[in-house]
Amino acid sequence: MTKIMFVCHGNICRSTMAEFVMKELVRKAGMADRFLIDSSATSREEIGNDTHYGTKQKLREMGIPFERRAATQLTKSDCEDYDYIIGMDYANIRNILRIGGEAAQDKVHLLLEFAPPSYKGGVSTMYGSIKEIDDPWYTGNFDATYNDVFAGCQGLLAHFQQ
């Protein structure tokens, strides 16, 4: 079983959106039994809070099932247990590596690494030139976030189907 952990700053917008989108994509592909999919935060700010209403509204609009959940913080143990630890932006990646240390080193990816080439333009870093997924907590643009998350999750699914 492949274990995927999606990570963002607060675990109420982007990472939860990615969790529910990916669960639906693998379900539709008949592969749900091959994956354990979860999400968490790098910060403690939203611990215990449910998914942001804007995320739930967008998921509902797109027909993606979701459930009530409580935001959790990524742990070193998660970094040891999960096969893929997927951040939404470069700050997430830095914080994942700070939390997980060596256990996270070879497992960390930006979600849009898996998206089509048109999504990969961005800031050049040690991870390459990959676009970040903007945080709708600040932008208010859940449509753009959904489009990026969906493209990344579709690419991630294609990665596993190869």
Per-residue tokens: 33: 């039994």
**83 carries an active-site annotation:** no
- Indicate the pLDDT class of residue 162, thresholds 50, 70 and 90: confident
What CATH number should be reported for the domain holding residue 63? 3.40.50.2300
13 is catalytic: no
The boundaries of the domain holding residue 135 are 2-161
Catalytic residue among 14, 89, 148, 153: 14
94 an active-site residue? no
The residue length of the chain stands at: 162
Q: Amino acid letter at 160?
A: F
Q: Which of 38, 78, 135, 148 is catalytic?
A: 135
Provide the domain count of the chain.
1
CA 28/CA 53 separation, integer angstroms: 25
Predicted confidence (pLDDT) at residue 130 exceeds the cutoff of 80? no
The pLDDT value given to residue 20: 99
Look at residue 45 in the predicted model and tell me its pLDDT: 95
Q: pTM for this structure?
A: 0.93
